[in-house]
Amino acid sequence: MQKRRRRRALLLLVLRKLLACAICAVALVALFSVHGHVFPSSKLPGASEPLKFPSQQEIKYQRAGGEQGWRQELVPPHFSKPPVPSHKSDEQSWSLDSGNLWKSPSNRDFFPCIDHSPNYTGPAESHGYLLVHTNGGLNQMRAGICDMVAVARIINATLVVPELDKRSFWQDTSNFSDVFDEAHFINTLANDVKVIKKLPKELANARKATRQFRSWSGMEYYQNEIAGMWENNEVIGAAKSDSRLANNKLDQNIQKLRCRACYQALRFAPPIEAMGKLLVERMRSYGPYIALHLRYEKDMLAFSGCTHGLSPAEADELKTIRENTEYWKVKEINSTEQRYKGYCPLTPKEVGILLTALGYPSNTPIYIAAGDIYGGDFHMADLRSRYPMLMNKEKLASVVELQPFLGHASQMASLDYIVSVESDVFIPSYSGNMARAVGGHRRFLGHRKTISPDRKAFVRLVDKIEQGTWTEGRKFSYRIIELHRRRQGSPRKRKGPISGTKGMDRFRSEEAFYENPLPDCLCQGERSSVPMDGRKQITQQVGQYSTEKTSSEG
């Protein structure tokens, strides 16, 4: 009897040990399976081996629509390990449009159609030479150069490669060939306009006339008044290039030429394209990313007179800059009125509130396309607290890699342009030249998602939060999402002048040509209906862009 009890006790002890071992085994399997899911590589986080940069095949979000020059595979010599993404906050987890955060609006079967018409002929006999002095920043100069290509065609001129602005706020000494691929520019336009690098030496003492062409002028102005100057001059100089050609009501061949100049001929210089592609690849290693054109630099705030959120000392500094800049005509500006009219760029804090309300999680990679942010880290603190994965050129590339471009505002801005055009989502905090140029380029490449903040309505809602009459949360997010549901870059016809405006204000109120090339440079329908030469040209010069149909929200 006693032996039986001992056997039962021994058996029970063995069973308990077996059960304990089984439980431990199950726990270990579960633990390793979780680690295997989170860290699929053979090395656990914290291992001494540095993170390898992903290959072309490993980058999941490689855009199919990049321009051909930006698609070269470039493996960086160094790259720091990306931070571990944080979890979504409770307020972001219920985003109304979480499934559409990265989805582009439907392109509605629009595609570039910028080939010559059947009756189009090569450049006519040149009557003389057109010298162009561009003005403004990178994107203002880009638009002006493309317009001057069209003007040269209209007045039968040989275009001398334009001179870039060296006298603007940025004091950039870059020449045309430092920023753009000069040989490509000349060769691509050979069937449209004759372009030469320099004015021939024998014309050094030729009869010249420099004139500031009238803003937003049509073909009649150039055919009659400007072309008439050839009778007494061999060289005509354009003192400025910005907004010298009308947005609308021009011959279709001229409109398509403007697009060929902008989206085919005006390609960045090879070193800039290579560096821009490298930055894009490094951003893509984090996953889909937002390019945020944060127009919160000293020159922008001084020019616009926007001082919301700044200290009295900062506001005084900006006013002094505005008063001392001779060609900025308006000196006295009411900052509050500017802001409520929607004329001020969103502050970094306001951008953070906007992104949160739209539903973007806190681990979203964001590329800051901008110069030096006014106030630096102090004014960026609120945005960074919400979105710590803020990147820029200086964080993605080494000093050695950026050295060739440092000190040249146009070249640095060109890098931002490339990363912005190739981003999954582009959001400008202000509707300036950069926002219009990038937005238009993204429309041309297939209407990629571009969220244009309704600043006028948005700042009023933000003020309610600051006043304590509203709080961030579900209702606020609903309101912001509805406010921007039709501001995401979907196809639409270019807007004409504001009703009731007259004279120059009428032209000034029109949507800029390069902000929206529809209908002039985009066609709707089956691509098979495009002539073979046109399809070949689109593929070679523009690159393959996505035709996948998605949501029709815009």
Give the H/E segment covering residue 426.
Answer: strand 425-428
The model carries a pTM of 0.80
What is the predicted pLDDT for the residue at 17? 60
Report which of residues 528 and 318 the model is more confident about.
Answer: 318
Chain centre to alpha carbon of residue 143: 15
Phi, psi dihedrals of residue 134, rounded to the nearest 5°: -75, 165
What is the predicted pLDDT for the residue at 37? 35
The whole-angstrom separation of Cα 482 and Cα 454 is: 11
Contacts with 53 (C-beta within 8 Å, 6 or more apart), sequence order:
75, 76, 79, 281, 282, 285
Phi, psi dihedrals of residue 217, rounded to the nearest 5°: -90, 150
- pLDDT, mean over the chain: 83
What is the predicted pLDDT for the residue at 532? 35
340: exposed, middle or buried (Cβ count in 10 Å: 0-12, 13-18, 19+): middle
Report which of residues 167 and 319 the model is more confident about.
Answer: 319
Q: What is the mean pLDDT of residues 319-331?
A: 91
Contacts with 396 (C-beta within 8 Å, 6 or more apart), sequence order:
279, 282, 283
Q: What is the mean pLDDT of residues 451-463?
A: 97
Look at residues 501, 462, 447, 275 and name the one whose alpha carbon lies nearest to residue 355: 462
Say yes or no to pLDDT of 517 above 80.
yes
Say yes or no to pLDDT of 304 above 50.
yes
Q: What is the mean pLDDT of residues 307-318?
A: 95
Look at residues 552, 514, 544, 513 and name the one whose alpha carbon lies nearest to residue 527: 544
- Half-sphere exposure for 199 (CA within 13 Å, toward CB): 19
Contacts with 310 (C-beta within 8 Å, 6 or more apart), sequence order:
301, 318, 374, 375
Rounded alpha-carbon distances, angstroms, from residue 68 to 5, 395, 418: 84, 25, 12
Say yes or no to pLDDT of 539 above 50.
no
DSSP assignment letter at 262: I
What is the predicted pLDDT for the residue at 19? 56
pLDDT in tens, 281-302: 999 999 999 999 999 999 999 9
Would you give the end-to-end CA distance of the chain in angstroms?
86
The whole-angstrom separation of Cα 362 and Cα 282 is: 19
What is the predicted pLDDT for the residue at 100? 85
What is the predicted pLDDT for the residue at 53? 32
pLDDT band at 360 (very low <50, low <70, confident <90, very high): very high
The whole-angstrom separation of Cα 59 and Cα 549 is: 22
pLDDT band at 371 (very low <50, low <70, confident <90, very high): confident
Which phi-psi region, left, alpha or beta, contains residue 305 (left: φ > 0; alpha: ψ -120 to 50)? left
Identity of the residue numbered 428: P
What is the predicted pLDDT for the residue at 8? 60
What is the predicted pLDDT for the residue at 170? 72
Report which of residues 449 and 4 the model is more confident about.
Answer: 449
What is the predicted pLDDT for the residue at 132? 97
pLDDT band at 181 (very low <50, low <70, confident <90, very high): very high
For residue 37, give the 3-state DSSP assignment. Answer: helix
Look at residues 266, 278, 261 and name the one whose alpha carbon lies nearest to residue 70: 278
Contacts with 484 (C-beta within 8 Å, 6 or more apart), sequence order:
358, 451, 452, 453, 454
Q: What is the mean pLDDT of residues 26-40?
A: 41
Look at residues 132, 123, 125, 148 and name the one whose alpha carbon lies nearest to residue 236: 132
What is the predicted pLDDT for the residue at 153? 98
What is the predicted pLDDT for the residue at 202? 92
Look at residues 523, 513, 514 and name the one whose alpha carbon lies nearest to residue 491: 523
Pairing of strands 425-428, 522-524: unpaired
What is the predicted pLDDT for the residue at 378? 93
Say yes or no to pLDDT of 59 above 90.
no
Give the H/E segment covering residue 210.
Answer: strand 208-211
pLDDT band at 438 (very low <50, low <70, confident <90, very high): very high
Report which of residues 46 and 408 the model is more confident about.
Answer: 408
What is the predicted pLDDT for the residue at 405? 97
Say yes or no to pLDDT of 492 above 80.
yes
